[in-house]
A and B are shown apart, each in its own frame.
Chain A
């Protein structure tokens, strides 16, 4: 290759890839790599330029002496398991119903999807009102004890409060993905099943579900990852309270750094958080790859 041609190639590479590469490097790559360093330092937000190397101290402290961190991990795991089951159960049933010939089908799809376009912060504030004032009024009218609970006032009900809002927010999104998959199942297949005398639920179980497995995998992992990383909702609905009983992992990291002003310790926790999130992602890739081989 002539020198001129080479220079031309190089310029084109810089023009096309350069700007993106610079943005990606300074915003994601460099901060991420710095994380490995800051995890081993004592560092606070008051003087960002001063970080003191303290070796394994942060990690020792997290593993030996930070019950709140582990409590928030337990909370997050429980929250993830419960919301993944409920969200996908509801979304799948909605997907089945709304892919049939209902008259109000389009309006219903819109309604179920609607909460998803609103951010977690605003949703949390809206539901704060519903749980504290709206439920109280409904309770007074109907006398149902369910509505008279102090919803955001106890650890148990606070947990379920977060679950309700999370499901309300994400079910519509997953429903859309399920609908796209269910509509894609060939019509003649289900007709053949009906002629052979299969009941509706038999067709769903033996035919629809196996055929839409790729969509099921996508939805399961989307909800798992979103639930595991829940933050906005946590901040605006319960603020982790009462006490720190409904603190998610992401919220615990946030509080450690921006409330307690321990950036170094916060970074160390955040890197552990990263490892856990990657485990979820690796499992997904592994499962999807294995399925592709089988199919």
Chain B
């Protein structure tokens, strides 16, 4: 067989593979099609035909839900809680990991082992006792409380990720800075922290995805405090009140998944890299 024939065969095979993959991708996208198409229909039309394009476009579904779940507020709460928690996690976990790497005392080594071991604890195994502890410390129903909870739960993985990275940061740079009269805190913030950018991106991404989508912890800690309702809480509450009101429900769902999808499409490359490095080390 000549090379040309082989190459042609191979490209034909690849075309078939590509065609199958595209069909599968369309299947993967089908749920989004159903949501979008039906989110602009009247309820009656959805009940008769949930697959075709709408006969009459009804954008009032969106404006109605926008009001009902107070979407701007809810979006703001999700941003606030996720943003503050992720920021806090970067600060606390990078500092903790740095100290553990540079001062491997028995205490710090034990602490690091505790972080790793704690990653196997499922949320259900601490949630009820957590309700008790946060009630006593008045960390329930307020912003500080929910952020502290995310710091506690997110710390272990973030410290492990930073720890792995900081081990590879050469000590010579720091020694040079100390000779030049830099304080220990200055060494960390001005010299070491800027070097941690790649792993910081990973830590930000992994924690953002998790905290943004989290449901059970906000239910327990935020509860019925309307000033902190996040997107998952608002959607669940909406489904409890408006059962089978699919016209409104689908508009609400489309609205609610948009922010995180936009974020994903913008940061796709970083997200995929973050997940690969995070899962292999974590």
Which residues of A are interface residues toward B (Cβ below 8 A)?
Answer: 12-13, 15-17, 19-21, 23-24, 26-32, 34-35, 38, 45, 48-49, 94, 97-98, 100-104, 107-115, 117-122, 125-127, 129-130, 133-134, 136-138, 141, 168, 173, 176-177, 180, 214-215, 218, 222, 229, 231-232, 235-236, 250, 253-254, 257, 263, 266-267, 270-271, 273-274, 277-278, 281
Contacts and interface: CB of A to CB of B under 8 A. Distances in A.
Contact of A114 (B46, B132, B184, B261): B261
B258 to A, nearest CB: 10
A108 B257 CA distance: 20
B130 to A, nearest CB: 4
B128 A121 contact: no
B260 interface: yes
B126 A31 contact: yes
Given A108-B25, A236-B236, A121 B31 contact: no
Given A27-B149, A117-B261, A127-B31, A176 B155 contact: no
B232 A121 contact: yes
B152 A24 contact: yes
Given A126-B253, A134-B34, A218-B279, A102 B21 contact: yes
Given A29-B118, A34-B133, A111-B29, A254 B51 contact: no
Contact of A23 (B119, B151, B212): B151
Contact of A117 (B111, B215, B264): B264
Interface in B242-282: 246, 249-250, 253, 256-257, 260-261, 263-265, 268, 271-272, 275-276, 279-280
A202 to B, nearest CB: 15
Given A20-B96, A117-B264, A119-B214, 14 more contacts: A27-B151, A28-B153, A32-B126, A98-B21, A125-B239, A125-B253, A129-B38, A130-B31, A134-B51, A138-B51, A215-B280, A218-B279, A231-B124, A257-B128
Nearest to A115: B28
B22 A218 contact: no
A257 B129 CA distance: 11
Given A48-B132, A120-B215, A130-B34, A23 B148 contact: yes
Contacts of B132: 31, 34, 38, 48-49
Contact residues on B (Cβ < 8 Å of other chain), bracket: 35 or more
Contact of B122 (A98, A113, A229, A236): A229
Contacts of B84: none
A24 B122 contact: no
Interface in B10-67: 14, 17-18, 20-22, 24-25, 28-31, 34-35, 38, 46-47, 49-51
A26 B126 contact: no
Interface centre among A13, A27, A168, A236 (most CB of B within 10 A): A27
B279 A222 contact: yes
A121 B215 contact: yes
9 shortest A-B CB distances, which residue pairs? A27-B152, A119-B213, A31-B129, A16-B99, A20-B96, A274-B125, A23-B151, A20-B92, A34-B129
9 contacts: A15-B95, A31-B130, A38-B129, A100-B14, A107-B25, A121-B213, A177-B275, A270-B124, A274-B121
B216 A232 contact: yes
B34 A16 contact: no
Contacts of A23: 92, 148, 151-152, 155
B98 A177 contact: no
Nearest to A27: B152
Given A122-B257, A126-B35, A112 B28 contact: yes
A103 to B, nearest CB: 7
B135 A48 contact: yes
A117 B246 CA distance: 23
